[in-house]
Amino acid sequence: MAKTAKVANQTPMMVQYQKIKDQYPDAFLFYRLGDFYEMFNDDAIKGAQLLELTLTTRNHKSDNPIPMCGVPHHAVQNYIDILVDKGYKVAICEQMEDPKLAKGMVKREVIQLVTPGTNTEVGSESAKSNNYLTALVANTDSHEMGFAYADIATGELKVATLIDVNELLNEVVSLRTKEIVVNSTVPSTLIDQITKLGILVSHQEEIVIQAESSYLSQDIDDDNQQQALSLLLMYINVTQKRSLAHLQRAESYEPSRYLKMDHYSQYNLELTHNIRTKKKSGTLLWLLDETKTAMGARLLKQWLDRPLLSKTAIEDRQNKVRVLLDHYFERSNLQDELVSVYDLERLAGRVAFGSVNGRDLIQLKTSLQQMPKIIHVLETLDAPELDNILKSLDPVEDVATAIENAIVDDPPLSVTEGNVIKDGYNAKLDEYRDAMRNGKQWIAELQESEREATGISTLKVAYNRVFGYYIEVTKANLNKLPEGRYKRTQTLTNAERFSTPELKEREQLILEAQEKSSALEYSLFTGVRDIVKDAIQRLQKLAKVVATLDILQSFAVVSEDYRLVQPKMSEDSHDLEIVQGRHPVVEKVMGRQSYVPNDIHMDPKTSILLITGPNMSGKSTYMRQLALTVIMAQMGCFVPAESAKLPIFDQIFTRIGAADDLISGQSTFMVEMQEANQAILHATPNSLILFDEIGRGTATYDGMALAQSIIEYVHNNVHAKTLFSTHYHELTALEDSLSDLRNVHVGAVEKDGELVFLHQVESGPADKSYGIHVAKLAGMPNDLLSRAAKILSELESENKTNNISTVESKPMAKVSEPDVAEVDTINEDEQLSLFSESQLDPKVTAVVDSLKKLNLMSVTPMDVMNLVNKWQQKLSK
């Protein structure tokens, strides 16, 4: 950033600039200069590039011209949003006095530091999600960490104690925080890890406890949590420099009270982001979101991030969904009312900031006026399940009435120029308005009477800002004007303008009334705003209740639309039975007719299902289907099946195979092993593990060896419910040696020489791998195919003789972190040597090899045509 050396022989303005800039070295300084915000020096060079602005210079004739660029003040928010979106900070530096009245340099101050985690001015689409600012302190004695987060727009404030780095990473990823505040207690290695996730790390050392924030931390006893909270509040204070009266009293939460999913799993299961498109479409959130309010949409994301663990709490939600599902008409009434409820949380936030205008208050009123109707719907439903919602629904009617009485229905954006307050609300205001209206009426009539008196039919009475009211007479008619009474005020080319003593007097009255009434209106407006401000906490509570109700109706809608059923939850049994289950998102995308439902049955004695079947048969879909069903159930939603009995899971781990990774271009064997390791280290007997084609990312024997030992380890040491899909047929033999493992397979049949996928899961192992059939489907030459079949049978018979080792499957000691780097991998050459024994033509080997590597999931039919064409050419050379 700019060098201090430049300060020498600078203009006073640049000296002032540099002094302010030095306080914000890591932010873009937007320096207000008249109608523009200017950037200088390095800020200007980088800013011009990021914002596509023209870079100019100040003092361009001097030896050291200063790079400069600027944005007009009325469009500044756009530019701030762009920079903050890209992860930068912007310090807004305003003129603190009127330049016309200032003596010497205009006083300037930074009035706000906008940062990625504190930006509240975001577009309407992003209002559907929270923007969380987080803070972290580490306690070197206990190794625990204090963690706090806030959404400055909505006022939500939470704190927690985190026990390890994993828990921290899971929290920051699931909150999708863009910025974390740390102090020197946080080790730099941890800061590096956080930075790698694309999160901005802001440092804040000094903490001054503000009197007003002591209220916020009242309920927090834990020391680590207190410190994280203070750090967070301090940072909010130094960046925002504005009232934050709407911050809610901090609430402590325990991450372990929820179904935990590490961030790999959240990502792999496409809960909120489609892996390929990064959009919401095609995700579980997309399926579940039939909410009508922004608050509901936001809370739904939180529910999705934190499914419940308590059976009572889950059933409480389920029972409410049941009532709403069973009462179609009441439900659709409820939806109609919810549509008109605006974002109460954000409105409350704007009231606290003082940035609320008349239109916001009308939105608030409209929203509150829906409450009696919503209460009415709930009363007609008359269901004990909904009692606690009904009881906690405080309609905050006093605020609605206050707004209704005072504010006009269609107020202007500005709150200082009048026309905001209703007639009849305040006697003094009515008087001023009368004076204004009468005066204007008098002036309108003046034109008529003056025309009559002078006989000048073109005489005009009008108004302009500089000269006020005037009488205008064209030059041709000047001679008709009597002497004396008319005082000339202005001369134009064709006309003269005059004033009279009466006109001046009236003008005085009108302008005075106008000025006073605007001032009075503003003070009446702030009076109403204060009434709202006093009700902020009630409004926030109401927002929560409305959001909850909104989600419950959304679940009811989804349950009806997609034929979901209420699952039976059990806390203590490990019995899992889903009859005719479906993957709700795949079903929605491909249509109900085409989807083949499947059972999943794992009795208390079954911990591992080993799933085999050809590529593209539906193994991955089957596994994800279970995970999504579990998540939906523990959110309190119904599930896609004919019936479902589910244990309550404490954690979900996934390792989704290389095949799927290739699509997103992220496949590395290391990631695969890291993800698997998470599960092996942290899963409990109450966890769910999905291992999809583990070992695929390395050489055959290497991968198979790892896959087998992982299965054995999970079977003998972890005991979590595990779905393990594999293309290693040999592994199906494990059923004989591992008592809690069952084989299932996804069926496929050959019909007229073609492979037909049934997507039907049956018990037992798949009988063969269908790779060669797929190659046949792709139209490969017959010679090649029969050669491949021959090699296969040779390899298979070889395998029969040195069958997989199932001997050593007794419990191993639970190891900590197996060092992946030390595992030997078989390289390409060794792999090829398998084939050289069979003395293949190298051309054929090359083709077979690339066929083996071909991942059908990641290519289009056209790609296949091109590849086959290439292979044919190669073979016929």
In angstroms, give the least distance from the CB of 608 to ligand ADP: 17
Q: Is 72 assigned to a binding site? A: no
Task: Report, in Å, the least distance between residue 659 CB and Mg ion.
Answer: 5
* Residues 571-610 as x/- pattern, contact with Mg ion by CB under 5 A: ----------------------------------------
655 binds ligand ADP (CB under 6 A): no
Report which of 521, 532, 529 is spatially closest to residue 420, judged by C-alpha positions: 521
Pairing relation of β-strands 89-95 and 27-33? parallel
Nearer to ligand ADP, 116 or 613 (CB): 613
To the question of whether residue 613 is assigned a binding role by annotation, the answer is: yes
3 state SS of 315: helix
The Cα–Cα gap between 299 and 282 comes to: 20
Nearer to Mg ion, 385 or 661 (CB): 661
* Residue 666 within binding range of ligand ADP, rule CB under 6 A: no
Beta carbon of residue 618, minimum distance to ligand ADP (angstroms, whole number): 3
Does 115 bind ligand ADP (CB under 6 A)? Our answer is no
CA dist 689 and 61 (Å) reads 69
CB of 276 to ligand ADP, least distance (A): 12
**426-to-112, 412, 524 alpha-carbon distances in Å:** 36, 19, 8
Q: With binding defined as CB under 5 A, does residue 227 bind Mg ion?
A: no
Residue 104, marked binder = no
In angstroms, what is the minimal distance from the CB of 726 to Mg ion? 10
* Cβ-based nearer residue to ligand ADP, 596 or 867: 596
- The item of ligand ADP, Mg ion, none sharing an interface with residue 662, based on CB under 5 to 8 Å by kind, is none
CB of 662 to ligand ADP, least distance (A): 12
Buried b / exposed e over 715-750, threshold 16 CB at 10 Å, is: bbebbbbbbbbbbbbebbbbbeebebbbbbbbbbee
Q: Please pick, from the candidates 7, 443, 565, 596, the single residue that binds ligand ADP as defined by CB under 6 A.
A: 596
What is the nearest approach in angstroms of Mg ion to the Cβ of residue 778?
A: 18
Three-state SS string over 514-542 comes to HHHHHHHHHHHHHHHHHHHHHCHHHHHHH
**Residue 348 or 585 having the CB closest to ligand ADP:** 585
Cα–Cα distance for residue pair 822/804, rounded to 1 Å = 23
How far CA 90 is from CA of 576, 823, 834, in Å, comes to 53, 48, 61
Cα 736 → chain centroid: 47
Q: Does the annotation flag 255 for ligand binding?
A: no
Q: CB-wise, 650 or 693, nearer to Mg ion?
A: 693
Q: State the Cα–Cα distance between residues 389 and 214, nearest whole angstrom.
A: 30
640 has binding-site annotation? no
Given Mg ion, ligand ADP, none, residue 553, with its beta carbon under 5 to 8 Å by kind, binds none
Cβ proximity to ligand ADP, 268 vs 598, nearer residue: 598
Residue with tokens 């593209």: 616
Between 264 and 622, CB nearer to ligand ADP: 622
Write the single-letter amino acid at 573.
S
Amino acid at 840: L
One residue of 349, 613, 647, 747 binding ligand ADP per CB under 6 A: 613
- Cα 437 from chain centroid (whole Å): 51
- Distance, CA of 371 to chain centre: 28
CA distance 302 to 247: 18
Smallest distance, Å, CB 773 to ligand ADP? 14
728 belongs to the binding site for ligand ADP (CB under 6 A): no
The three-point CA angle 792-797-799 to 5° equals 95
Query: Which span sits near ligand ADP by CB under 6 A: 155-163, 167-175, 563-571, 612-620?
Result: 612-620
850: which 2 tokens?
A: 């690339």
Q: Closest distance between ligand ADP and the C-beta of residue 633, in Å?
A: 19
Contact partner, 777, from ligand ADP, Mg ion, none, Cβ < 5-8 Å per class: none
In angstroms, what is the minimal distance from the CB of 591 to ligand ADP?
A: 10
Residue 389 tokens, joined: 């919602």
3-state secondary structure of 668: coil
Q: Using CA atoms, how far apart are residues 651 and 568, in angstroms rounded to an integer?
A: 19
Question: What CA–CA distances, in Å, run from 491 to 2, 472, 570?
Answer: 54, 10, 92
Least gap, CB of 617 to Mg ion (angstroms):
9
Instruction: Kindly indicate which of the ranges 513-521, 613-621, 626-634, 791-799 contains the residues binding Mg ion, using the contact rule CB under 5 A.
Output: 613-621
State the binding partner of 615 from Mg ion, ligand ADP, none, CB within 5 to 8 A by kind: ligand ADP
Give residue for tokens 């890291």. 674
Q: Check: CB of residue 218 under 8 Å from CB of residue 248.
A: no
282 binds ligand ADP (CB under 6 A): no
* Residue 759 contacts which entry, Mg ion, ligand ADP, none (Cβ below 5-8 A, type-dependent): ligand ADP
Shortest separation between residue 615's beta carbon and ligand ADP, angstroms: 5
Answer for which of 292, 346, 619, 773 binds ligand ADP (CB under 6 A) is 619
Stretch that binds ligand ADP, among 416-424, 455-463, 566-574, 616-624 (CB under 6 A): 616-624
Q: Return d(Cα 539, Cα 212) in angstroms, integer.
A: 20
Which among 133-141, 241-249, 588-596, 626-634 is the span making contact with ligand ADP, rule CB under 6 A? 588-596
Q: Determine, following the binding rule CB under 6 A, whether residue 618 of this chain makes contact with ligand ADP.
A: yes
Distance between CA 297 and CA 243 in Å, rounded? 27
Tokens describing residue 407: 């504010």
- Please spell the DSSP secondary structure of 122-137, one letter per residue: --TGGGGS--EEEEEE
Tally of CB atoms within 10 A around 332: 12
Establish whether 617 is an annotated binding residue. Answer: yes
How many residues touch Mg ion under the rule CB under 5 A: the total is 1
Region near ligand ADP per CB under 6 A, out of 4-12, 327-335, 595-603, 796-804:
595-603
Tell me if 614 is assigned to a ligand binding site: yes
Contact window for Mg ion (CB under 5 A) among 93-101, 113-121, 134-142, 617-625: 617-625
Strand spans (E) along 685-836: 688-692, 721-725, 741-751, 754-763
Which of 184, 214, 594, 739 is close enough to bind ligand ADP by CB under 6 A?
594
Among 32, 178, 317, 759, contact with ligand ADP (rule: CB under 6 A): 759
Which CB atom, from 189 or from 593, has the smaller least distance to ligand ADP?
593
Please name the residue that has the structure tokens 């916001």.
Answer: 360
Of 122 and 857, CB closest to ligand ADP: 857
> Is residue 617 close enough to count as binding ligand ADP by CB under 6 A?
yes
Residue in the shown chain whose Cβ atom is closest to Mg ion? 620
Regarding 268 and contact with Mg ion (CB under 5 A), the answer is no
Q: Which of 496, 513, 499 is nearest to 441 (CA)?
A: 513
Tokens, residue 345: 């949380």
Q: How far apart are CA 186 and CA 228, in angstroms?
A: 11
Is 620 a residue that touches Mg ion (CB under 5 A)? yes
Distance, in Å, from the CA atom of 791 to the CA atom of 780, rounded to the nearest integer, reads 16
Least CB distance to ligand ADP at residue 261 (A):
20
| CB-based burial, 630-651: b 16+ in 10 Å, e otherwise | bbbbbbbbbbbbeebbbbbbbb
Residue of 158, 353, 345, 159 whose CA lies nearest to 245: 353
Q: Beta 568-570 vs 200-203: how paired, if at all? A: unpaired
The H or E element containing residue 488 is strand 487-491
Single out the segment in contact with ligand ADP by CB under 6 A; choices: 42-50, 189-197, 311-319, 611-619.
611-619
**Applying CB under 6 A, what is the total number of residues that bind ligand ADP?**
15
Please, which residue, 132 or 267, has the CB nearer to ligand ADP? 267
Binding site feature residues: 613-620
Binding site for ligand ADP (CB under 6 A): 586, 590, 594-596, 598, 613, 615-621, 759
Residues at the annotated binding site for ATP? 613-620
| Residues found near Mg ion in the complex (CB under 5 A) | 620
